[in-house]
Amino acid sequence: MDFSIPPHVQNLTERTRDFVRSKIIPFEKDPRWGAHGPSDEMRDEMNDLAREAGLFMPHGPKDFGGLGLNMVDRAFVLEASGYSMLGPVAMHCAAPDEGNTHMLDVVANPAQREKYLRPLVEGARSCFAMTEPDGAGSDPMLMNTTAEKTSDGYLINGRKWFITGAAGARFMIIMAKIKGGPLDGEATMFLTDLPRKGIRIAKEQNSMDSSFTGGHAVIEYDNLVLQEDDILGEVGKGFDYAQVRLAPARLTHCMRWLGSAQRAQDVAADYASKRMAFGKLLASHEGVSFKLADSEMEMRSARLSMLQACWVLDQGGRGTTESSMAKVQCSEISWEVVDRAVQILGGQGMTDDTIVARIFRDIRAFRIYDGPSEVHRWSIGRKVVKAIRTRNEAVI
């Protein structure tokens, strides 16, 4: 595996760093960045700046105007974008749009590419509706939203929650289980424009995190009628397509949040290099310098795990286990890094005088979103046991 950065990616990464520092960090004090994320107006302004800088949609397909970066190249650029939590929003490489872009690029038919993927790459917002109140999230098999085929089309009924970006999204990808017929119980994905009769935002959810435009919402489907043309891919292949989306999406979460963890580390290191305590700089005390050292080492380890998983995907592998490992490592380490930064900053870390307190609140969600650490560990553990049993049986 060669993780050296090609010159064009190095250039793009440096331009991203400069762009985020000079153009986007000033937006962090903008009152339009509220409890449910930056407003659409603010997002549009930042998008225009990213377009002017030639940094818009780094992961999008080139035929629709994206930069077309592969996963390894993407890792460097998206981490640089995450140095401000607003950076991915500005560059249109934040969740859920980033994951939806990848899945549509892989699965959508030509008509759907024009209707949904093209506007998405050009800057439209979307949402992905899978998670449900009664358990369909970490365990998607518990999904209760149904799609019943009738003479009028597919009748969708059910309830979703934690649907990121639903408020103001241009379109939605819905996962539902087929009701009746030979594919009864099989998950299927549907595409639909928004707003639409039969889809209602029942509630905007107040969450700790605040970096997603549109926030998170509870969605109700009441006799929503969709047609064959609205099916993404094939009927009954929804869980397969979810994996197409989720493995890369976990890794792009890692990229963005490592950037934010690095920001917290830098703020804490700068503070420790200036603050005096007990007759010397705070950074001279081992209790502080060891924290900075641990954070630096752990972020490097997490970064390598993420890059290895990205490499597997670029080589055509599914990368399910590798992305799970990277997701756990990056989410847990990012949390530790930011927690240490708060501790080093002391009382300052509890205020909005620096960005660290906001990163602290937002990054806590990373250990839950796209699969809690416990679920990934459970999955990895099962594979460890299966592998040792297979080896032992071969020896016997």
Map out the domains of the chain as residue ranges: 7-94, 126-235, 239-389
The yes or no reply on domain 239-389 and CATH 3.30.160.20 is no
Distance CA 383, CA 216 (A): 33
pLDDT number for residue 144 = 95
- CATH for 7-94, options being 3.40.50.150, 1.10.150.120, 3.40.630.10, 1.10.540.10: 1.10.540.10
pTM: 0.95
Do residues 61 and 74 touch, judged by C-beta distance below 8 A? no
Q: Give me the mean pLDDT over the 3-15 stretch.
A: 91
Render pLDDT for 57-68 as a digit per residue (tens, 0 to 9): 999 999 999 999
Average pLDDT, whole number, for the chain? 96
Does residue 338 register a pLDDT over 90?
Answer: yes
Do residues 245 and 100 touch, judged by C-beta distance below 8 A? yes
Task: For residue 226, give the nearest of 171, 114, 148 by alpha carbon.
Answer: 148
pLDDT number for residue 3 = 63
CATH class of the region 126-235: mainly beta
391 HSE (CA, 13 A, CB side): 6
